[in-house]
Structure formats: structure tokens, C-alpha cells
């Protein structure tokens, strides 16, 4: 009878341990799901902020583009110039310092940028002239 009681006690303890482990697993799983949901919500908020920023950024960049989507080298900001492939910080500064330009080819004639770079961006830029009064 003593052996049977001892065996029953061990079995009861094993059941309690197993059920406790299962309960902990459910708790861990619930916490993990909560954390995953929190990360997903955070990503959604970040994406919403990025979309909002991109929209306002696009609106600002369109103000210095002509109707054909060309960047006006006489009016574009440094950031807008740097959207052109091959135009970095230094070239953008040189373009701004050399304003105004009568023609976009003035960029090469004045030694602002090399011919090869001009060839790659010339279809994306314009040298808009202010209207005469």
C-alpha cells in the first residue's frame, strides 16, 4: 500500500508538472503573439509615416519641375539635384553656385560636370528662364 501511495504521489506530481509546463507554454505563446502584434502595429505606423513623408516630399519636388517632369537646374534645391543619378553633394553644390544657366549644356561648357555625367542626366533636366517683364 505504501508503494502504491508513493507511486500515486509521483504520478500526481508528474501531472502537475506537465500541466504547469503546458500552462507556461500557453502563457509564453500568448506573450509572443502579443509581441508580434506590437511589432506589426509598429511597422504599420512607420509605413504610414513614411508614406506621409513621401507624399509631402513629392509635392515639394514637383514645384521645381516643369510639366514634363524635368528638374530645373536654375531653381531646384540641393536635395532635388541629388535625386539625379551621378549628382552627389559636391556636384549639387557646384550646380547651385554656378546659377543662372541659359542652357542646360552650360553645365559642361563651364566645367561644372563632366560630359559623361551630362549625357546621363540631360534628358531629365532643363534650364528654365524667368519670364521677361
- Looking at residue 104, which CATH number applies to its domain? 1.10.150.320
Contact criterion met (CB below 8 Å) for 61 and 124: no
Residues 80 and 109 in one domain: yes
Q: Record the pTM.
A: 0.52
Examine the fold and report which residue of 15, 35, 62 is the final residue of a domain before the chain moves on: 62
Q: Which of 79, 73, 75 is nearest to 122 (CA)?
A: 73
Q: Which domain holds residue 81?
A: 71-126
Distance CA 33, CA 70 (A): 48
Residues 15 and 51 in one domain: yes
User: Does residue 109 lie in a domain region?
Assistant: yes
Residues 18 and 75 in one domain: no
Q: What is the pLDDT of residues 86-112, one digit of tens each?
A: 999 999 999 999 999 999 999 999 999
Q: State percent of the chain over pLDDT 70.
A: 52
Residues 92 and 122 in one domain: yes
Amino acid at each position: 500500500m505504501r508503494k502504491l501511495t508513493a507511486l500515486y504521489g509521483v504520478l500526481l506530481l508528474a501531472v502537475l508538472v506537465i500541466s504547469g509546463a503546458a500552462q507556461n507554454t500557453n502563457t509564453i505563446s500568448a506573450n509572443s503573439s502579443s509581441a508580434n502584434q506590437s511589432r506589426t502595429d509598429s511597422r504599420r505606423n512607420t509605413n504610414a509615416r513614411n508614406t506621409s513623408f513621401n507624399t509631402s516630399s513629392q509635392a515639394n519636388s514637383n514645384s521645381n519641375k516643369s510639366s514634363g517632369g524635368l528638374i530645373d537646374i536654375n531653381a531646384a534645391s540641393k536635395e532635388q539635384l541629388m535625386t539625379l543619378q551621378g549628382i552627389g553633394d559636391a556636384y549639387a553644390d557646384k550646380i547651385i553656385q554656378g546659377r543662372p544657366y541659359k542652357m542646360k549644356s552650360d553645365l559642361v561648357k563651364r566645367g561644372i560636370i563632366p560630359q559623361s555625367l551630362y549625357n546621363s542626366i540631360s534628358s531629365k533636366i532643363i534650364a528654365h528662364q524667368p519670364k521677361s517683364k
